[in-house]
Amino acid sequence: MRNLVLKLHIYAGLLTFAQLMLYGVAGLVASAQTAAERPKIPRTIRHIPFTVTASATDQQVADDVYRALRLPLTRPMPGWFLRRTPEHDLLLDFYNINGIWRVVVLERESRLRIEEIRNSLGLFLGDVHAITLSDREAPRLVRVWAYYNEFAMWCLLAFCCSGVYLWLTAQARSWWAWASLATATVSFAALWMAFR
The interface with another protein within residues 129-148 (CB under 8 A) comprises 130, 132-134, 141-142, 144-145, 148
CB of 108 to another protein, least distance (A): 25
Kindly tell me which residue out of 85, 110, 169, 174 binds another protein, with binding defined by CB under 8 A. 174
Per rule CB under 8 A, is residue 22 in the interface with another protein? yes
Residue 111 to residue 106: CA distance in whole angstroms:
5
95 forms beta bridges with 100
Per rule CB under 8 A, is residue 54 in the interface with another protein? no
Residue 107 to residue 153: CA distance in whole angstroms:
47
Kindly tell me which residue out of 52, 61, 98, 105 binds another protein, with binding defined by CB under 8 A. 98
Residue 117 to residue 104: CA distance in whole angstroms:
13
Helices (H), the chain: 2-15, 17-32, 58-69, 121-129, 140-168, 175-195
Kindly tell me which residue out of 52, 62, 97, 138 binds another protein, with binding defined by CB under 8 A. 97
CB of 195 to another protein, least distance (A): 5
Q: What is the dihedral of CA 9, 10, 12, 15, to 10 degrees?
A: 170
DSSP 138: S
Q: Which is nearer to another protein, 52 or 125 (CB)?
A: 125
Which of the stretches 59-67, 80-88, 105-113, 175-183 binds another protein when contact is defined by CB under 8 A?
175-183
